[in-house]
A and B are shown apart, each in its own frame.
Chain A
Amino acid sequence: MKFFHPQKFKKRQVSYAAKYLNWLFLTPCLLTLIICAGWPLIRTISFGFTDATLDNLSDISFVGVDNFVAIARDQDWWKAVLNTFVIAIVSVPLETIFGMVIALILHRNFKGRGWMRAIVLVPWTIPTIVSARMWAWMLNDSYGIINDLLIRMSVIKEPIPWIASNALSIVSIILVDVWKTTPYMALLLLAGLQSLPQDCFEAAEVDSIPFRTTFKSIILPLMKPTIIVAMIFRTLDAVRIFDLVYILSSGNNENATMSVYSRRFLVDYADVGYGSAAATVLLFFVAFLSILYISFNQKKLREMS
């Protein structure tokens, strides 16, 4: 086709038109992202430096970093920061371990694998609010089945106030979060397992190498990048946790996370300036993780462009 000059000329014209078409096709998406995410984000950050309230968003005055100083002085805020990090640091590794177990199960070819996959997806499917309610019912101190079982097995004598007590309600939140998000983690890890060269599994099986060795010296090193990316992604998700905490902490200050704290000031106390400032601080906490996450996806980005 090299000698086919007229075609070449024509092609150049097409590609010129195509360039403008590229952006025409991208416009709706770009506009959506700007209107729904970009602009509100900029506004939230700028509200953080003002005394805006919910009823009065337009006639506002600049107050500098007052809101941020007030946040830094608020003990409840630091409690929220601590809670958020405790939840993230405990639940993400647990999810990774359980997720790995489930991924290894689903990776094996056995009878009933389809069923297993469907069953594992159930906790992920159930809306977070529903999961929170279901578990709150099971963990109910006087009527819950979990206390009942524990008492019948004589592990405990008195019913445990899983949700009413502050220290334990963090445990409950972590428990429900792990239950809910492990399936997702499992799927991410399963995808990683499936993209590994399958012949090394077969070779290990033929040589009847014990599974522990295969896992330690083949699967784990090869899966490392997938595990890291999945963990970063899950941490990003865990740091902004809202729904579960909102239901399971029944509105007390002790167990608030950063998201719950920000929203409380923003909506319940109608202090948009202060709430936005808190949300901005959360954003900066997350930004570091985001950058890490995006840079881990660089390879994929390069592949795509």
Chain B
Amino acid sequence: MVWKYKKIIKEIVFYSVCLIVAFCCLFPFYWAVVSSFRDSSNLFSTELLPSKITFDNYKEVFSDVTFGCSFLNSGVVAVCTALLTLAVCLFAAYPLARAKFRGKKRFLMAALGVTTLPHVAVLSGLFELIRFLDIYNEKSALILSYMIITVPFTLWTLTNFMRNIPKEIEEAAIMDGASRYEILTKVFLPILKPAIVTTGLLAFIAAWNEFLFALTFTLTNQSRTVPVSLALFSGASQHELPWGLIMAASVLVTLPLIVLVVVFQRKIVAGLTAGAIKG
């Protein structure tokens, strides 16, 4: 009896910890959602449930041309970065995962080193490069700079996934006379589909959230990405920020990501942990 009693208490403790964790994780976002539905007279109320729901903030966000622009910019930049990163890394991961050659370890180590770079340490060099290429204030400048973040990490993750494909599959393909290119595109690519979805998604999220480069390499409202316009969003006067509007915009920026994460959570967890960062 005592034993059972103890077990019940244990379960209660466990589930309460779960509840506390869930509350801490979700409450800030919940609060942003609630605030975004308040009109300006109720904005400062601290009731947990809004008494009156209004969509005014959202209407205003959608009517704001700048914000629409930045939403589009973020989407285009993030998709291009993810696709380009995948293309580059898929080719590189093949020899890194399957072949033995000199310089391989050094290559992987260099990629690992790049993940640890403080981004501000490449800022002025990149600035010069971007100006030289004449792409300042353009999307290609952002895509170029985002590759620093996405490539090393994607390379490690894909190499890791590719290493786990059984040797026999590759050997069978070689016996059938497939070239290396064919092995990669026709044999490995279908097997790696889940890994590609995961790493692509992670690259997309990283690019969607990036701030430092986007802040530095864009100048006009039309070319900004969402995080930058959100950061530079300010009302008529400096001291009175349009909080309702900011919260509405924040919710809109975050929703696509939350949907992606909830749908792909199992895959994302696998991708995050299969990468470089494992003991």
Contacts and interface: CB of A to CB of B under 8 A. Distances in A.
A, B assembled together: yes
Interface of A: 14, 18-19, 21-23, 25-26, 28-30, 32-33, 35-37, 39-44, 47, 52, 54, 57, 101-102, 105, 108, 110, 112, 114, 116-123, 125-131, 133-135, 137-138, 140, 142-143, 145, 148-149, 179, 183-184, 187-188, 190-192, 195, 225-226, 228-230, 233, 236, 239-240, 242-243, 246-247, 258-259, 262-263, 266-267, 272, 275-276, 279-280, 282-283, 286, 289-290, 293-294, 296-297, 300-302, 304-305
Which of A112, A119, A188, A262 has most chain B Cβ within 10 Å? A119
B140 to A, nearest CB: 12
B22 to A, nearest CB: 5
A187 B31 contact: no
Interface in B170-203: 174, 180, 184
B128 interface: yes
Which of B21, B112, B125, B208 has most chain A Cβ within 10 Å? B125
B28 A134 contact: yes
B101 interface: yes
B111 A188 contact: no
B253 A44 contact: no
A229 B279 CA distance: 6
Which of A135, A190, A305 has most chain B Cβ within 10 Å? A305
B212 A36 contact: no
23 contacts: A18-B180, A25-B91, A26-B92, A26-B95, A33-B152, A36-B148, A40-B126, A40-B129, A43-B124, A116-B22, A122-B258, A125-B205, A129-B231, A134-B247, A179-B28, A259-B212, A262-B120, A263-B123, A266-B124, A267-B216, A293-B112, A294-B109, A305-B105
A135 B24 CA distance: 12
Given A130-B254, A133-B250, A137-B31, A40 B122 contact: yes
Given A43-B129, A143-B43, 11 more contacts: A25-B180, A37-B122, A40-B128, A43-B124, A101-B21, A140-B243, A188-B272, A191-B274, A247-B231, A282-B121, A294-B113
B25 A122 contact: yes
B130 to A, nearest CB: 9
Which of B87, B104, B272 has most chain A Cβ within 10 Å? B272
B36 to A, nearest CB: 10
B29 A279 contact: no
Which of B25, B96, B261 has most chain A Cβ within 10 Å? B25
Contacts of A138: 28, 31
B107 A26 contact: yes
Contacts of B114: 33, 37
A305 B100 CA distance: 7
Contact of A263 (B31, B95, B120, B147): B120
Interface of B: 14, 17-18, 21-22, 24-26, 28-29, 31-32, 35, 43-44, 46, 87-89, 91-92, 94-97, 99-101, 104-105, 107-114, 116-129, 131, 144-145, 147-148, 151-152, 155, 159, 163, 174, 180, 184, 205, 208-209, 211-212, 215-216, 226-228, 230-231, 243, 246-247, 250, 253-254, 257-258, 260-262, 265-266, 268-269, 272-274, 276-279
A118 B274 CA distance: 18
Contact of A42 (B88, B125, B268): B125
Contacts, number: 302
Which of B94, B109, B152, B209 has most chain A Cβ within 10 Å? B209
B21 A19 contact: no
B125 A41 contact: yes
Nearest to B100: A305
A266 B123 contact: yes
B116 to A, nearest CB: 4
Given A44-B125, A128-B211, A179-B28, A294 B261 contact: no
A65 B228 CA distance: 34
